[in-house]
Amino acid sequence: MRIDSIDLFSALAAEMNAHPDQFRPLGEADMDVVIVMTSKRADSFAVRLAFEGIRCEHVVEAEADAPCEYRLVGPLTAWQAMFDDIAEHGRATGLQTINSLALLGNDIALGGTDPMGLDKFSRFNQTLQEFFDGASAVLALEVAP
């Protein structure tokens, strides 16, 4: 499965929504996020994710500059490295956690115009991290015989 695809993010949302027992202890999270993957060889891929309560309710392809509370923008190679790390270790490790990547800002940058929206990245960070970590199950399922 390509990571710059609605298929992947729909599968991540399904993985989150299938595990309320994992996400309920983290508490409700309400945020509107755009993920942007840039590429030198193709158009950027952007997806808008709407988290409500303990679910990811909406996954839709979007424009890179679509309105949102915050966006995470980086080259496809950086996102691939993050998902590869998750697939290898079962969760993001070291500098491949979404906070580490966004704080360093070298590869994946956290953007947005409203500090109140930007701070939602911090307010719901564990939820977002575990949403991405769901890729370990999604990608493992894909390669399973």
> Which residue lies nearer to another protein by CB, 57 or 61?
57
What whole-number distance in Å separates Cα of residue 88 and Cα of residue 74? 21
- Among residues 4, 13, 12, the alpha carbon closest in space to that of 86 is found at 12
What whole-number distance in Å separates Cα of residue 137 and Cα of residue 145? 14
> Which residue lies nearer to another protein by CB, 10 or 100?
100
116 binds another protein (CB under 8 A): yes
What whole-number distance in Å separates Cα of residue 52 and Cα of residue 32? 9
The secondary structure of residue 107, as a DSSP letter, is: S
Kindly identify the residues of this chain, within the stretch 22-81, that bind another protein according to CB under 8 A. 25-28, 53
Task: Please give the size of the binding site for another protein, defined by CB under 8 A.
Answer: 28
Interface stretch with another protein, choices 13-21, 35-43, 58-66, 124-132 (CB under 8 A): 124-132
CB of 57 to another protein, least distance (A): 11
Interface stretch with another protein, choices 5-13, 34-42, 90-98, 131-139 (CB under 8 A): 90-98
Interface stretch with another protein, choices 14-22, 34-42, 71-79, 119-127 (CB under 8 A): 119-127
CB of 101 to another protein, least distance (A): 9
Interface stretch with another protein, choices 7-15, 32-40, 80-88, 99-107 (CB under 8 A): 99-107
The secondary structure of residue 94, as a DSSP letter, is: G
**Interface with another protein (CB under 8 A), residue from 100, 107, 109, 137:** 100
Strands of the chain (E only): list them: 31-38, 45-52, 55-61, 70-75, 109-111
Q: CA separation (Å) from 55 to 29, 52, 64, 78, 122?
A: 8, 5, 23, 26, 18
Q: Which amino acid is at 120?
A: K
